[in-house]
Amino acid sequence: MNQVHLIGGEKGGVGKSVMSRVFAQYCIDREIPFAGFDSDRSHGSFTRFYSEFTKHLILEDFQSLDQLAETALTGNRLQVVVDLAAQSSTSLRGWMEDTGVLELFREAGVMVTCWHILDDGKDSLEMLGRLLDDFKTGVRYVVVLNHGRGSRFDAFFASREKNRAVELGAKIIELPKLSEGSMRLVDHSNSSFWAAAHGGTNGEQLLGLLDRQRVKIWLKKVYAELDKLGLQQN
């Protein structure tokens, strides 16, 4: 079964691109076939760090968005990972209505999963509610509590949005925090998480010993969360 993973959150700076990047690294390390698409209009960090696997999308161009549908419909046991830009829901819904692509996916047995990357702010929680309103039972959901963008998620666990997500079968996972200094070094190295943790393509050390160790420990924790999604069983 092919799967399309729409990794969003609507607001900027919530950690969508970090989640896309570490999900891509997870697929590489677990030998799960995947293809990446980056719709970020400004930074394009998913493309920058995983250019070998990623293509750029223009959300306002329906023909550009068609690329991800065609990839999902022609692949074999493929994970299609889409890093959505902030405020992308209007364009995405317009494309889906124009093409009827969700029905096309259902007929072809392609699973669509909407990821909502959540910080601990009220607006992020409200945006989760709007996502559930938009798609209801038409897709699957993954809610990611990003500890790199928040330390207390009590409001989420006590919320109506959380209850609705659970009723719709959402899986709730956590994205542990990697220290800001280590994440900054990874970003400045322009390298994948694997290269940052183990050395570049020529064996050069991009990070110091302890920062490499921090990245390795962080990846192990993130992978334990992603294992809960059961991708290798599909």
What pLDDT score does 234 carry? 53
Q: Is residue 220 part of a domain?
A: no
Q: What are phi and psi of 91, to 5 degrees?
A: -65, -40
Q: How far apart are CA 24 and CA 21, in angstroms?
A: 5
- Give the closest residue to 91 by CA, choosing from 31, 39, 49: 39
Q: By residue range, what is the domain housing residue 126?
A: 3-178
Q: Where are the alpha helices (DSSP H) in the chain?
A: 16-29, 45-49, 62-74, 89-99, 101-108, 122-135, 154-157, 160-167, 180-188, 193-198, 209-227
Q: How far apart are CA 133 and CA 51, in angstroms?
A: 34
Q: What is the pLDDT of residues 34-67, one digit of tens each?
A: 999 999 876 678 988 998 999 999 999 999 999 9
Q: Is residue 165 part of a domain?
A: yes
Instruction: Give the chain's domain count.
Output: 1
The amino acid that residue 124 corresponds to is S
- The pTM (predicted TM-score) of the whole model is 0.94
Q: Is residue 234 part of a domain?
A: no
Question: How far is it between the farthest Cα atoms of the chain?
Answer: 51
Structure token pair of residue 150: 């928040």
What pLDDT score does 104 carry? 96
- Tell me the pairing of strands 54-56 and 34-38: parallel
CATH code of 19's domain: 3.40.50.300
Q: Is residue 11 part of a domain?
A: yes
Q: Is residue 189 part of a domain?
A: no
Q: Is residue 188 part of a domain?
A: no
Q: Across the strands, what pairs with 4?
A: 80, 112
pLDDT by 10s per residue, the chain, length 234: 899 999 999 888 899 999 999 999 999 999 999 999 999 876 678 988 998 999 999 999 999 999 999 999 998 889 999 999 998 999 999 999 999 999 999 999 999 999 999 999 999 999 999 999 999 999 999 999 999 999 899 999 999 999 999 999 999 999 999 999 999 999 988 889 998 888 765 556 678 899 999 999 999 999 999 999 998 655
Q: Is residue 203 part of a domain?
A: no
* Cβ 7 vs Cβ 14: under 8 Å: no
Q: Is residue 231 part of a domain?
A: no
